[in-house]
């Protein structure tokens, strides 16, 4: 890596180049002078008197062993040389601002009136700002000292980074104590920097902003623990870097997923995670924006439901305050339909879903954000499929147009092929027909006679009245990708047996249903269907499914007073995000994930 010019100057200084008599700094010079410790506890904020003996205790060697008392004295001396708390400034938290460096007391943020100073975001720094003084805040990502007179500090805020430089002697305000303060800041401390924007002589390859900050003031707002749970660079390292290191025979540290999630607040600071949740926010807002523009109304449904609600076994049961048995909502499905029965016509909800599933897979969570839609239909449930298809095509186009930088950052750490999508809604066909096509593909590619199809050898299960397994979905997605050059498609008419009780049966074949799934990269991302709007048919389906009618009484009663035909669908925000970005695990798409093994942080 090319050396910074200031770094080269410091090397010359330490080698004696440019020093009078052409020699290095004399070792005979008295360096036992007391440090000026930010004026803490000293009248008028002055330095500690040099008359006081503050020479460092001798280091222990093989011939010199420190006694217990001497070790205690040495530790006390080390503590005295650390930057002091501002309470030492005669109890005045504002006193530190009179200096150019130091720790800002929490009292400062309790008492300080608005200063109306002008703040600059790190991402706003550009060559046009050269020569101006800026005030910045962010995280101290890396701190590198070159000798005693030069410190490099990378300041990070969101996805932006800038190089800050402290050079002793460059300004009268840059003192030895200020240099030591900056040098001893723990990584990931939250700091405030004031300085002059300058243009680097050589391009800065390791920061996003192509300017440098010549620091004139530096304050620590919140000091990080010295021992981080993992190295920031290790957590941010790209997949390509790992591959290149393995190719060279090197073993770079790998931060495991559980370690990341155990220390999620630190993990979320990495560029890939910052980008992931920026995209999640855009998906959320675009979903709402699209549906509002189509005349849908946003609603909020109860998350505490009576009994076991939809009748599934994967519910979180709880005792309600009146002694009744209740559960956390598996979906807003029943209340969405009740809203349609109330005449709201077209509704949607973005809300929390709870599933007590013991599924330790890469795509299941016990708590996630649901994206749900319900609407009246006039003639056919493909009206709902058309809304679904148009929504996702517009969403994908919007993400590609507005989140290119974030996608590049994610792809650097989690390499993935860009999503391929048709420009029009792609309703592929019936589930049963494409199962037959998938079997035929297996026969052809494996040269197996038609009568010798073996489920176990094929790696997936396709039965007449069963759903697609995960392996089958993947193979199916690859087949569609190869044939039609798309990673997003809709499949319809699934087996009735594996769909909820409120799903409308197919008239031509009662074993199947008026249902549909949407897929991204060969994994199911959306499920939907036409719903039963006939009270008698609902009762019949409830009996066949063996569901307790009492828990659904409020839902059933809403169909006694007129109910329009309807359909709808639901998706998980985290799964949409995971599949669109090509992330290997859904936990990476959840801010603080909840799975069968994880309840914290």
524 a catalytic residue: yes
Q: Give the pLDDT band of residue 307 (cuts 50, 70, 90).
A: confident
Respond yes or no: is residue 364 known to be catalytic: yes
Same domain, 205 and 277: no
More confident residue, 435 or 159: 159
Residue 581 lies in a domain: yes
Whole domain around residue 411: which residue ranges? 272-589
Is the same domain home to 284 and 207?
Answer: no
Is 288 contained in some domain?
Answer: yes
In this structure, the answer to whether residues 180 and 196 fall within a common structural domain is yes
Q: Is residue 190 located within the same domain as residue 241?
A: no
Q: What percent of the chain has pLDDT over 90?
A: 61
Residue 469 — pLDDT band, cuts 50, 70, 90? confident
Closest CA to 478 of 487, 489, 468: 487
Give a yes or no: residue 188 inside a domain: yes
- Each residue's pLDDT tens digit, 198-252: 999 888 889 999 999 999 999 999 999 999 999 999 999 887 888 888 899 998 8
Q: Report pLDDT for 437.
A: 74
pLDDT of residue 115: 79
> Is beta strand 523-531 parallel, antiparallel or unpaired with respect to 566-572?
antiparallel
Of 372, 524, 531, 558, which one is the catalytic site residue? 524
pLDDT of 310 above 80: no
Is 575 among the catalytic positions? Answer: yes
Split at pLDDT 50, 70, 90, the class of 458 is very low
Q: Are residues 260 and 308 in the same domain?
A: no
Q: Which pLDDT score, from 0 to 100, does residue 116 have?
A: 84
Mean per-residue pLDDT of the chain: 84
Which of these is catalytic: 13, 180, 363, 533?
363
Active-site residue identified among 458, 575, 587, 590: 575
Residues near 120 by beta carbon (within 8 Å), at least 6 away in sequence? 129, 134, 135, 136
> Can you give the pLDDT at residue 474?
86
Residue 428 in this model has a pLDDT that exceeds 90: no
Catalytic residue flag (residue 342):
no
Split into its structural domains, the chain has a count of 3
Question: Is residue 519 situated within a structural domain?
Answer: yes
**Residue 206 CB partners (closer than 8 Å, separation 6+):** 154, 161, 163
- What is the full DSSP assignment across 37-60? -TTTTSGGG-PPPTTS--PPPPPP
Query: In the predicted model, is pLDDT for residue 570 greater than 80?
Result: yes
Q: Compute CA distances 277 → 159, 224, 236, 283, 362, whole Å.
A: 12, 24, 15, 10, 18
- On whether both 430 and 331 belong to a single domain, the answer is yes
Instruction: Find the catalytic residue in 327, 331, 458, 527.
Output: 527
Regarding whether 516 and 439 lie in a shared domain, the answer is yes
Among candidate residues 169, 199, 227, the one where a domain is terminated: 227
Query: Does any domain span residue 258?
Result: yes
Q: Among 4-8, 119-123, 173-177, 438-442, which stretch is predicted with the lowest mean pLDDT?
A: 4-8
Between the alpha carbon of residue 236 and those of residues 157, 242, 270, the distances in Å are 15, 11, 6
Neighbours of 150 (CB within 10 A): 23
Q: Which residue has the higher pLDDT, 142 or 548?
A: 142
My answer on whether 181 and 116 are in the same domain is yes
Query: Is residue 464 in some structural domain?
Result: yes
pLDDT of residue 92: 65
Q: Is the predicted pLDDT of residue 29 greater than 60, yes or no?
A: no
Q: Please indicate, yes or no, whether residues 5 and 127 belong to a single structural domain of this protein.
A: yes
Indicate whether 598 belongs to any domain: no
Residue 363 has pLDDT above 50, yes or no: yes
Do 195 and 338 lie in a common domain? no
- The CATH number given to whatever domain includes residue 208 is 2.40.50.140
> How distant, in Å, are the alpha carbons of 20, 125, 299, 565, 577 from that of 238?
48, 26, 41, 50, 19
pLDDT score recorded for residue 569? 98
SS3 call for 436: helix
Are 134 and 203 in the same domain? Answer: yes
The predicted-structure confidence for 102-134, as pLDDT tens digits, reads as follows: 999 888 888 777 778 899 999 999 999 999 999
Q: What pLDDT sits at residue 238?
A: 82
What pTM did the predictor assign?
0.82
Residue in 355, 372, 531, 533 annotated catalytic: 355
CB half-sphere exposure, 533, CA atoms < 13 A: 22
Same domain for 422 and 571, yes or no, is: yes
**Average of per-residue pLDDT across 85-89:** 47
CATH number reported for the structural domain that contains residue 495 in this entry: 3.30.930.10
289 catalytic? Reply is no
What confidence score (pLDDT) does residue 205 get? 87
Find the Cα–Cα–Cα–Cα dihedral 136, 137, 140, 144, rounded to 10°.
20
Percent of the residues in the chain that have a pLDDT greater than 70, as a whole number: 78
Q: Which of the four pLDDT bands, split at 50, 70 and 90, describes residue 93?
A: low
363 annotated active-site: yes
Domain assignment present for 600: no
Higher-pLDDT residue of 520 and 465 is 520
Cβ pair 98, 44 in contact under 8 A:
no
Among the options 14, 87, 170, 357, which is catalytic?
357
CB 216 within 8 A of CB 171: yes
> At CA 419, angle to CA 418 and CA 424, rounded to 5?
140
C-alpha closest to that of 84 among 226, 227, 220, 224: 220
Q: Of the ranges 23-37, 138-152, 376-390, 578-592, which one carries the lowest mean pLDDT score?
A: 23-37
Please give the structure tokens belonging to residue 17: 């180049």
Q: Helix H segments across 326-421? A: 333-341, 382-402, 404-413
- Residue from 137, 364, 594, 598 carrying the catalytic annotation: 364
Q: Which one is predicted more confidently, 405 or 80?
A: 405
Residues in the chain: 601
């Amino acid at each position: 890596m090319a050396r910074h010019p200031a770094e080269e100057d410091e090397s010359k200084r330490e080698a004696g180049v440019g020093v009078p008599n052409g020699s290095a700094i004399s070792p005979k010079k008295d360096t036992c002078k007391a440090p000026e410790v930010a004026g803490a506890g000293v009248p008028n904020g002055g330095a500690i008197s040099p008359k006081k003996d503050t020479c460092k205790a001798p280091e222990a060697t093989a011939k010199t062993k420190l006694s217990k008392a001497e070790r205690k004295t040495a530790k006390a001396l080390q503590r005295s040389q650390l930057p002091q708390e501002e309470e030492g400034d005669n109890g005045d938290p504002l006193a530190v601002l009179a200096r150019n460096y130091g720790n800002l007391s929490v009292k400062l943020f309790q008492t300080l009136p608005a200063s109306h100073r002008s703040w600059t975001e790190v991402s706003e720094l550009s060559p046009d700002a050269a020569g101006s003084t800026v005030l910045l805040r962010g995280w101290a990502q890396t701190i590198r000292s070159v000798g005693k007179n030069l410190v490099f500090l990378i300041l990070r805020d969101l996805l932006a980074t800038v190089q800050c430089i402290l050079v002793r002697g460059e300004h009268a305000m840059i003192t030895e104590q200020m240099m030591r303060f900056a040098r001893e800041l723990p990584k990931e401390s939250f700091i405030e920097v004031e300085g002059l924007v300058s243009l680097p002589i050589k391009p800065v390859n390791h920061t996003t902003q192509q300017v440098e900050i010549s620091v004139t003031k530096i304050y620590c707002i919140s000091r990080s623990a010295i021992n981080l749970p993992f190295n920031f660079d290790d957590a941010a390292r790209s997949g390509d870097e790992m591959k290149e290191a393995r190719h060279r025979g090197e073993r770079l540290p790998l931060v495991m997923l559980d370690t990341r999630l155990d220390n999620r607040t630190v993990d979320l600071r990495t560029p890939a995670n910052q980008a992931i949740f920026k995209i999640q926010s855009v998906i959320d807002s675009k979903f709402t924006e699209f549906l509002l523009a189509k005349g849908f109304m946003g609603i909020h449904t109860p998350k505490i439901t009576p009994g076991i609600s939809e009748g599934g076994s994967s519910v979180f049961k709880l005792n309600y305050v009146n002694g009744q048995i209740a559960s956390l909502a598996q979906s807003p499905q029943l209340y969405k339909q009740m809203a349609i029965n109330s005449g709201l016509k077209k509704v949607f909800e973005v809300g929390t879903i709870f599933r007590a599933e013991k599924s330790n897979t890469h795509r299941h969570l016990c708590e996630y954000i649901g994206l749900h839609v319900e609407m009246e239909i006039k003639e056919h449930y493909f009206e709902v499929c058309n809304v679904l298809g148009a929504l996702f095509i517009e969403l994908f186009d919007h993400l590609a147009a507005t989140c290119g930088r974030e996608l590049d950052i994610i792809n650097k750490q989690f390499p993935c092929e860009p999503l391929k999508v048709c420009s029009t809604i792609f309703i592929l066909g019936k589930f049963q027909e494409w199962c037959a096509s998938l079997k035929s593909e297996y026969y052809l590619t494996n040269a197996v006679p038609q009568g010798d199809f073996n489920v176990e050898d094929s790696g997936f299960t396709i039965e007449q009245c069963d759903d697609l397994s995960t392996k089958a979905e993947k193979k199916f997605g690859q087949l569609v990708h190869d044939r039609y050059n798309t990673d997003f498609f809709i499949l319809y008419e699934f087996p009735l047996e594996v769909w909820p009780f409120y799903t409308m049966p197919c008239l031509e074949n009662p074993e199947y249903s008026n249902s549909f799934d949407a897929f991204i990269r060969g994994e199911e991302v959306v499920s939907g269907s036409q719903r039963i709007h006939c009270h008698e048919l609902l009762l019949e389906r409830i009996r066949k499914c063996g569901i307790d009618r009492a828990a659904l009484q409020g839902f059933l009663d809403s169909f006694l007073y007129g109910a329009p035909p309807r359909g709808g669908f639901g998706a998980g925000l985290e799964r949409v995000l995971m599949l669109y970005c090509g992330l290997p695990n859904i936990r990476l798409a959840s801010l603080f994930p909840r799975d069968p093994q994880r309840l914290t942080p």
